[in-house]
Amino acid sequence: MKHIYRCTLLLAAAAFSLHSQPNSSFRYTVKDGMQTIEIANVTYEVPTDTFVLRTTMHSTHVIGDIGSQATVSLQAWKLGVDMKQKPLYSFTVEGDETRTVEREILTVSRGLEEVAWWSVYRLANGAHLFDTYVPLVTFRVGGESNNNRYAGLEVPPDDTKDLRLKDPHVVAVLSYASEAKLIREALVTCDDPEHAALLRSFADSSRTLTPHDGPSPTLQIAITEESPAPKAPTVLVIPVAGDDLDIAHARLPPHLHLAAWKR
């Protein structure tokens, strides 16, 4: 009888399946001479062995206009549950592309106009970690493959909601995180407000963030002023020690400063 019962369970397991299929769509309309394209794409991903992620991207583009309106909606469920149930987490933001990193982090491309930037989230629960105006940086600390660390550089736009970042001396915010949490943020400032404005300008400067991992990992910020003519980059080198930004031993150009900062 035990053998028959076990076979019955195996047969039941073999017949088990879940199915979810929201529709993608395309719509083209013309009204008052204006051509509009609306697209909704639905994709599924199993980024880990424990849950499934559904991404719905909806965009509206008027032909001839610069940029578009687009939103990304994400929902996650435990693998195997009925997807009609309430998801583990869900959120919707303006954006047009998502990417999973190291099976730990999720990025959403938010730059719908001329400036590229990304929001970074925990894949496990959808919690927002930080925003970055350079591509997300991934590196390892401690020599272990599972000790992934993530970094980004936020350059506050003119319409930032944080009034502290409207200070004319502010240049950028460096973020350092693990998969589980935001470990440290550091504020870059400049003594000269006019120079600070150039360093954070999207039109007149470009930025890179480069990791150098190993026994003594560092993060290097390079800001190049490109207008009216390219200049040698302004370089800041920040060591990582004890799984934290070693702000005290950062190598900075004259008149620039780095300080711990919190949202």
What is the DSSP secondary-structure string of 111-125? --SSS--EEEEETTT
Residues 61 and 177 in one domain: no
Strands 51-62 and 69-78 come out as antiparallel
Length of the chain: 263
Q: Assess if residue 211 is contained within a domain.
A: yes
Q: What pLDDT is recorded for position 19?
A: 57
Q: Helix or strand or coil: residue 197?
A: helix
Per-residue pLDDT in tens (0 to 9) along the chain, 263 residues: 444 444 433 434 445 455 566 678 888 999 888 899 999 999 999 999 899 999 999 989 888 776 678 999 999 999 999 999 999 999 999 998 999 999 999 999 998 778 899 999 999 999 999 999 999 999 988 766 568 999 999 999 888 999 999 999 999 999 999 999 999 999 999 999 999 999 999 999 999 999 987 778 999 999 999 877 778 999 999 999 989 999 999 999 999 999 999 98
Asked, for residue 153, whether it belongs to a domain, the answer is yes
Q: For residue 258, what is the enclosing H or E element?
A: strand 256-261
186 in any annotated domain:
yes
Query: Quick one: 81 and 206 in the same domain?
Result: no
Do 49 and 151 lie in one domain? The reply is no
Q: Are residues 134 and 258 in the same domain?
A: yes
Q: Are residues 195 and 250 in the same domain?
A: yes
Domains held by the chain: number: 2
Q: Domain check: are 162 and 78 in the same one?
A: no
Assign 99 to helix, strand or coil: strand
Q: Are residues 35 and 77 in the same domain?
A: yes
Backbone angles phi, psi at 220, to 5 degrees: -115, 125
Shared domain check, 171 and 75: no
Classify residue 107: in a domain, yes or no: no
Asked if the structure places residue 137 within a domain, the reply is: yes
Q: Where are the beta strands (DSSP E) in 8-163?
A: 25-31, 34-45, 51-62, 69-78, 89-94, 97-101, 105-109, 118-122, 128-132, 137-140, 148-154
Q: Are residues 167 and 258 in the same domain?
A: yes
Q: Are residues 65 and 177 in the same domain?
A: no
User: In sequence order, what are the residues at sequence separation of 6 or more whose Cβ sits closer than 8 angstroms to the Cβ of residue 4?
Assistant: none
Question: What tokens were used for 216?
Answer: 């003594």
* Residue at a domain's end among 96, 114, 137: 96
Q: Does residue 139 lie within any of the structural domains?
A: yes
Task: Give the end of a domain, one of 96, 112, 144.
Answer: 96
Q: Which domain holds residue 39?
A: 21-96
Burial letters for 197-236: b for 16+ Cβ neighbours within 10 Å, e otherwise?
bbbbeeeebebebebebeeebbbbbbbbbeeeeeeebbbb
pTM above 0.75, yes or no: yes
Pair (53, 161) in one structural domain = no
139 and 83, same domain (yes or no): no
Report yes or no on 106 lying in a domain. no
Is 189 within a domain?
yes
- Written as six digits, the tokens of 85 are 């149930």
Q: Of 73, 96, 119, which residue is a domain's last?
A: 96
Phi first, then psi: give them for residue 251, nearest 5 degrees. Answer: -100, 115
Which amino acid makes up residue 184? Answer: R
End-to-end CA distance of the chain: 63
Strands (E), 137-255: 137-140, 148-154, 170-177, 182-190, 205-212, 218-225, 234-239
The pLDDT of residue 72 is 95
